[in-house]
Amino acid sequence: MQAIDHPENSEQYIGLTVNSGVSQPPSVNPYMTRRKRKPMPTVSEMVEGILKGDVTLLSRAVTLVESLSPEHQALAQEVIEKCLPYSGNSRRIGITGVPGAGKSTSIDVFGLHVLRNGGKLAVLAIDPSSERTKGSILGDKTRMEKLSVHPSAFIRPSPSAGSLGGVARKTRETIVLCEAAGYNNIFVETVGVGQSETAVHSMVDFFLLIQLAGTGDELQGIKRGIMEMADGIVINKADGDNIDRARLAQAQFRSALMLFPKAASGWSPEVLTYSGYFELGIPEVWDMIDRYFDFVMANGYFEQKRSEQARYWMYETINEQLRANFYNNPDIARMLAEGEERVLTNRQTSFAAARQVLDHYFSAR
């Protein structure tokens, strides 16, 4: 190495030589070529892969379902249509509960319980707020530690963008793809705080409400509608000091349910206590769900409900697409802004403003 012209190379610093530095190698690896995105598989490749249970192709198809691009949407619809004849063969279970109720802990142990007898499980989610939280609230893999590494489990967070109706439709379509891929157990998780329960209820066979024992006023703050939808109410965290309180809550829920009219299924919803964390009472919860399925299979309600749901989703999809077509139209967006301005300054009534925009929309058809 060469000594350079440097103050410390002067005579007075005998024994010290300052050499020129080594030039730094480039920080970018020159051998690394830019990773190319794999080309989009064709519709038939995707369908074949899904039917074989190929998780990569299933995931890619789900990504298409979730995509906002019209081109992807068209492809997704083709895939779904081809998978439809192979779908339907599963138990679809909705699981709801307020944040902190223990949904992810419970889904982890319920899931393992279900998979003990073989089969496959897909865990999907509906969380219309996930646009804000980037999908981290629901379906986040790290929340279900055991299931996320189970080879027979497929966990997919909530589709993130769009209205509740849109998010729910995508989850509904994902169910079709998962079933075609051989997933014979589907869990659909949702936060029990809003309207997403109604959407989940319209795509599952059994609706499980996870509750917590509180301070004696358990029934407060639970929307009556959610309780009415539940086929089973389970009180979590029945462990340690909490067991007595959980039993008390169980009694309160049972008597509250008695005041409700009989469900269309003919099934009387049950109330159980369990502990997801300590894995207590899990077989009992599952035994209840098994009994429900036996019951509705025998009385024909299972098929009836699925047909009603199919009809519901036909109209839901029409409503959603009509709304999107209307609101995404730039002319309409401009007219709406102007109309709103007139209404807010009392220059036009709400009805007249609405009429004006709608007339324009329909006359342009």
Q: What order do you get walking across the sheet with 91-97 strand by strand?
A: 153-155, 121-126, 185-191, 91-97, 206-212, 232-236, 270-273
Q: Is 276 in the site for ligand GDP (CB under 6 A)?
A: yes
Of 65 and 101, nearer to ligand GDP (C-beta) is 101
| CB of residue 94 to ligand GDP, shortest distance in Å | 14
Q: Are 46 and 82 in contact (CB under 8 A)?
A: no
User: Binding residues for ligand GDP, how many (CB under 6 A)?
Assistant: 15
Among 277, 293, 326, 361, binds ligand GDP (CB under 6 A): 277
Element containing residue 322 per DSSP (H, E): helix 301-327
Radius of gyration of the chain (CA): 28
Q: Is 101 in the site for ligand GDP (CB under 6 A)?
A: yes
Q: Is 236 in the site for ligand GDP (CB under 6 A)?
A: yes
Per CB under 6 A, contacts with ligand GDP among 102-121 are: 102-105
Of 21 and 100, nearer to ligand GDP (C-beta) is 100
Q: Is 265 in the site for ligand GDP (CB under 6 A)?
A: no
Q: Are 256 and 221 in contact (CB under 8 A)?
A: no
Q: Is 91 in the site for ligand GDP (CB under 6 A)?
A: no
Q: Which two tokens stand for residue 80?
A: 């779904």
CA distance 272 to 248: 11
Q: Are 124 and 92 in contact (CB under 8 A)?
A: no
* Cα 311 to chain centroid, rounded: 21
Q: Is 100 in the site for ligand GDP (CB under 6 A)?
A: yes
Of 103 and 201, nearer to ligand GDP (C-beta) is 103
Element containing residue 166 per DSSP (H, E): helix 164-180
Decide: helix, strand or coil at residue 365: coil
Of 97 and 159, nearer to ligand GDP (C-beta) is 97
| CB of residue 113 to ligand GDP, shortest distance in Å | 14
Of 102 and 157, nearer to ligand GDP (C-beta) is 102
Of 46 and 137, nearer to ligand GDP (C-beta) is 137
Of 96 and 171, nearer to ligand GDP (C-beta) is 96
| CB of residue 280 to ligand GDP, shortest distance in Å | 8
Stretch that binds ligand GDP, among 51-59, 75-83, 154-162, 276-284 (CB under 6 A): 276-284
Stretch that binds ligand GDP, among 180-188, 215-223, 250-258, 275-283 (CB under 6 A): 275-283
| CB of residue 212 to ligand GDP, shortest distance in Å | 9
Of 118, 267, 236, 129, nearest in space to 193 by CA: 129
- Return phi, psi of residue 29, to 5°: -65, 115
Stretch that binds ligand GDP, among 7-15, 72-80, 232-240, 263-271 (CB under 6 A): 232-240
Q: Is 135 in the site for ligand GDP (CB under 6 A)?
A: no
Report the alpha-carbon angle 59-184-262, nearest 5. 120
- 153 pairs with which residues across the strands? 121
CA distance 90 to 184: 4
Report the alpha-carbon angle 273-278-282, nearest 5. 50
Of 277 and 295, nearer to ligand GDP (C-beta) is 277
Residues that bind ligand GDP (CB under 6 A): 97, 99-105, 236-237, 239, 275-278
